Each structure stands twice: as C-alpha cells, then as structure tokens.
Structure 1
C-alpha cells in the first residue's frame, strides 16, 4: 500500500509523527499529536549521523604513510622537514581517529533515537511508509491476533501460541515470526518482563530511503 492510499482510508492522522531514517510515520485516528521536540531531535541526530559517516568514509584509507628513515648524511634542514612532516601526520591521524570515534557515536545515537520512537508509539501504534510503500504496522494496545495474542499476553502464552510456527528470539530482544504467505514480512513481539508490551508486522527488507 502506498502512503497516499493509506491516508485515503481515513484510518490515520494526516500529519506525520516521525521522519526518522527517511520513512514517514503516522498514528491511527485519535492517536498522539506530533511531538515537535522529539522530531527536531531526530532530525538533528540523523543529520549529524549522515555528515560524520560521510566524512569518515572519505577519510578512510587516507592516513599518511609513516616517514622513511633519514640517511646518515641528512642535513639539519632535511631533519627539520621530516620532523614537521611527522608532526603533521600525527595531527592528521589524531583528527581521523576522533572523526571515526564521533561517527561511531553517531551510529549509537541513531539507535537510541529509533528505540525512543518505537517506545513512544508502542501502545498507541503507528504506520510507517517507505518511499516504495507500506513498511511497518505497529498495532494499537487493544489489537489482538487471531490467537488472542496482544499487549498484556504472558510470554508463556505467546510461546504456546506460536512456538511451533517459527517464533524465535531475535538479537533485537524481540520475538519474531514470519507472516505465512507474505514473503519478507514478519510479526515482531516486544516483551517487557514476562508479558507482551506491543506487537508489529514489518518488512525489514524494505528500506526507508
């Protein structure tokens, strides 16, 4: 489903609540209003992430080679030039190391921003569209699967319902299970303690931008 078609159903609020990663997210009718403070912070985090990682990619592999050994008959001028070159190289290496560290931190900051967005709409739900169409449906709190699984369901009941249908614990900490007959799509169940806190249907092969 394309974004315009999704909005045309009347089931969604018309103003986006997140543009993080290039996807456009909307809440269901009656859901929370856009949080401009969070959205501004998301935009700043993403801009810094893109800038730093572009610079890190450009700097990669450009570290100057170490200076060669001076010959025994080198002049004081040659020695001074070599020392200056070594100092410049050390300065460049330090700047590159800092750039790489900052770029790595920006990746962590993006993960924090994504997790904050997910948490903000875990109970109320949201719908996320990539440029090519629908990417994710986060269910509202009252939603249940055909087997009666939803927010508040115990982890034991979740495993009993879907353990034989491919339910697995992913690295993300969520329980995931493929959607039968829909290649690439999967259910994702967020668990807090011993209960389901939220669930979504998502195709992670579809990239936001």
Structure 2
C-alpha cells in the first residue's frame, strides 16, 4: 500500500510521528501527536552518526603515512593516532545513541499502534492496544496463549528478539509479538524485507 493512499483513507493522522532512518511512521487518528522536540533529537543524532561514521570510513581508506625517524615525526604520528581513535570512539558513541533513539521510537510505535512506510510502501502495521489477531491474541494475552495459538504455525524468535509467525495469505509478511514478562506487549504485521531508505 502506498503512503498517499493510506493517508487518504482517514484512519491515519496526517502528520508523521517519526522519520528516523528514512521510515515515516504515522499514528492512527486520535493517537499520539507528533512531538517536534523528539523528532528533532532523532534527526540531529541521525545526522551526527552519519557524519562521524562517514569520516571514520574515510580514515580507513587512507594509507597510513610512512613513519619518520625524528622525535617530531613520532609526536605527529602519535597525535594523528589519538585523533583517529577519538573519531572512532565518537562515531561509535553516536551510533549507540542512534540505536537508543531507534529503540525508543519502536517501543512508542508498537505501544500506540500505527503504520510505518519505507521506500517500497507499507513496511509495518502496529495494532492498536485493543486489537486482536484472528486467533484472539493481542496486548495482554498470556505467553502461554501466544504459544498455543502459534507454535504449530511456525512461530520463532526473530533477530530483534520478538516472536514472529508468517501471516496466512500474505507472503513476506509476519506477525510480530513483543512480550513483557509472561504477557504479550504488542502485535504488529511486518514485512521484514521492506527497508526504510
């Protein structure tokens, strides 16, 4: 489904709640409103991580200068090594901060429900808290009920730690269940092959 067609249906809010990583997330009508401060923080850390990682990648493609024999040459080499190490550390820290923003965004998205669009169209539908699957599983269902409903249908744990099971009649789509303790926290339908940008 294309984003414009989904927005025209009136079930989604008109303004996105996140554009992190090139995905555009919308809450359902009446759901959480966009938070400009959070969205700016996401954009800022994403830009910083991209910039620092690009610089770090460029460093790896440059050949190391030939070592000199003087003390001044050794001092310059040590300064360059320290600057390079700082850049790598800053890039790693920015990447960790970006991962934290992604986790915050993902938790808020699945908790409230909505639709996320990537470069190929619809990427994820997060069910509103009161929705249930055809098998009666939704937020608040027990882990035992989830396993009873889906173990025989090939449920497995995905790379993201969420339980996943193929959606009948929808190739490439899976149900994704978060679990908090012994209860289902959220339900989504996801196309794992769809990318944000």
Q: TM-score surpassing 0.5?
A: yes
User: In the TM superposition, what whole-angstrom CA distance separates every residue of 1:64-116 from its partner, at most 9, and x where no partner exists?
Assistant: 25626xxxxxxxxxx5xx22222111111111111111111222111111111
Q: The residue matched to 1:208 in structure 2 has which SS? A: coil
Give 5+ residue unaligned stretches, structure 2: none
The reply on whether 1:125 has 2:125 as its aligned counterpart is no
**CA 1:184–1:89: 2 relative to 1, 3 Å:** farther
The reply on whether 1:101 has 2:86 as its aligned counterpart is no
Mapping 1:1-209, distance limit 5 Å: 1-62=1-62, 64-65=64-65, 67=67, 82-209=70-197
In structure 2, the partner of 1:71 is none
User: In the TM superposition, what whole-angstrom CA distance separates every residue of 1:24-51 from its partner, at most 9, and x where no partner exists?
Assistant: 1111111111111211111111111111
Q: The residue matched to 1:122 in structure 2 has which SS? A: helix
Give the Cα–Cα distance (whole angstroms) in 2 for the partners of residues 26 and 191 of structure 1: 23
Give the Cα–Cα distance (whole angstroms) in 2 for the partners of residues 202 and 67 of structure 1: 53
Q: The residue matched to 1:13 in structure 2 has which SS? A: coil
User: In the TM superposition, what whole-angstrom CA distance separates every residue of 1:136-172 from its partner, at most 9, and x where no partner exists?
Assistant: 1111001100000000000011011000111112342
When normalised by structure 2's length, the TM-score is 0.93
When normalised by structure 1's length, the TM-score is 0.88
Offset of residue 132 of structure 1: 2.1
Structure 1 vs Structure 2 CA RMSD: 1.6
Give 5+ residue unaligned stretches, structure 1: 69-78
Aligned residues: 197
Give the Cα–Cα distance (whole angstroms) in 2 for the partners of residues 97 and 187 of structure 1: 42
Contact conserved, 1:15 with 1:34, CA < 8 A, in 2? yes
Give the Cα–Cα distance (whole angstroms) in 2 for the partners of residues 107 and 180 of structure 1: 37
